[in-house]
Amino acid sequence: MAFSQGSAQGGGFILLLLTASLLVLMSEAETIVVGGSKGWSFGFNYTDWAIKNSPFYINDKLVFKYAAPRNTSSYNVYLLPNLWSYINCDFRKASIVADAKQGSGKGFEFVLKQWRPYYFACAVNNGVHCSQGQMKFFAIPWPRPHY
Ligand SMILES: *[C@@H]1O[C@H](CO)[C@@H](O)[C@H](O)[C@H]1NC(C)=O
Ligand SMILES: *[C@@H]1O[C@H](CO)[C@@H](O)[C@H](O)[C@H]1NC(C)=O
């Protein structure tokens, strides 16, 4: 009885430590505009951009900026489920992150919350923006190192 109570308190303490370190991590998070001054647009090499802007860290915010559509749909942001669908620009199991309107103004913010690969791509035009327009990249956010 006493033992289980003790370990429960220990667990609570560890949780407190985790929460505290998470708050530190969050306070150091960066905001990064995808594509820089180019924003999220057709024909820009986002693979190259992602390489040059790596590493990303957990809780960093990616900002996708693109104009709202006038006549035709402009751009959007999808998450592809795995490397295969990313390579092939296959959106069948993709999930929408931001629609055509959400990139206007200050842009759409996406927080890299987990230590996993995020495969981003534009799904417009049956994936042509992804396959021909280079509108895809992936980011793997790392736990931010402490100094
Ligand atoms: C985009 O950049 C990557 C990485 O620098 C490079 O390997 C690739 O050839 C570039 N793609 C095009 C179409 O220029
Ligand atoms: C977009 O719509 C406007 C007004 O309806 C029209 O004048 C213009 O030609 C359209 N542009 C395209 C690219 O379809």
Q: In the chain, what are the domains?
A: 30-139 (2.60.40.420)
Alpha carbon of 146 to ligand 1 centroid (Å): 33
Q: With pLDDT > 70 as the criterion, what percentage of the chain qualifies?
A: 79
2 pLDDT above the threshold of 50: no
* 67 confidence band (pLDDT: 50, 70, 90): confident
Report the side by side order of strands in the sheet with 77-80.
Answer: 95-98, 77-80, 118-121, 136-139
Q: Measure the CA–CA gap between 52 and 93, rounded to whole angstroms.
A: 28
Backbone angles phi, psi at 95, to 5 degrees: -120, 140
Best residue among 44, 45, 134, 138 to mutate for probing ligand 1, ranked by most atoms within 8 Å of CB: 45
Ligand 2 centroid distance, CA of 112 (Å):
37
Whole-structure pTM value: 0.77
